[in-house]
A = this chain, B = another copy of it.
């Protein structure tokens, strides 16, 4: 089954275009869980396990962010492996790694995330050149999501700026990526931040068939309504990510897991108009 087919099925079975971002910080883990364990690796493992259990019916994808695991060293990486194995096989696993390096190094990153971790998709940073993406493109079961317009204010430093006569560097990246379509077995996607919906129109317009990974709703302030408007004629499937706004929505309450389920349902429902196009 190729990536697009798997994604469509995941959207249909969850009736959701929502992705749950797994950014586990020990210091933010609900106290009732935190206090059960003595070490941070165990804490983030159990936290991720319960977040996945509490949200898997209502999310099409999960996106562990590698930084939060690497911060705990090799034990953290081991947790990342266990967490990856917990993602239901009918859901999409996106390794949010934002790697980008030259050929022989990129090949090793491909091994790390596709071959060993078993991710369906990986986020990539194209700054070092579009050739750095190539080692990730030879498998139709996989996808890459390439940074084009991020959700932080610093995106104004480079990605929002005019480049080579295009409206923005982000648009230029989208256009260059679209040219790689016919030589790629993997699906090509873009990361476009929800906090800059005014700016994403020209980016996604440059590659209308691209699947989209859209971070920034919730904690980062992006509005669902603006996203819906921006996507009205887009052909690729949008995956709407929220991390902190979902996984920490239970605070330190004893029933934090129920609260997370409520929150993910709330997000899912707010995206229903969008989801109905695909599910």
Contact = CB atoms under 8 A, between A and B. Distances in A.
B152 A117 contact: no
Interface string A155-196: 111110111100001000000100000000000000000000
B125 A154 contact: no
Given A127-B127, A128-B147, A77 B73 contact: yes
Given A71-B116, A77-B77, A161-B163, A131 B153 contact: yes
A8 interface: no
A109 B70 contact: yes
Interface in A105-122: 105-106, 108-109, 111-112, 116-117
A194 to B, nearest CB: 13
A201 interface: no
A151 interface: yes
A106 B80 CA distance: 18
A99 B98 contact: yes
Interface string A57-84: 0000000010110111111111011000
Contacts of A100: 98, 125, 127
A152 to B, nearest CB: 4
B105 A129 contact: no
A23 interface: yes
Contacts of A261: none
A78 B75 CA distance: 8
B128 A152 contact: yes
Q: Shortest 8 CB-CB distances between A and B: which pairs?
A: A129-B154, A131-B154, A74-B78, A67-B108, A70-B112, A74-B77, A71-B108, A102-B152
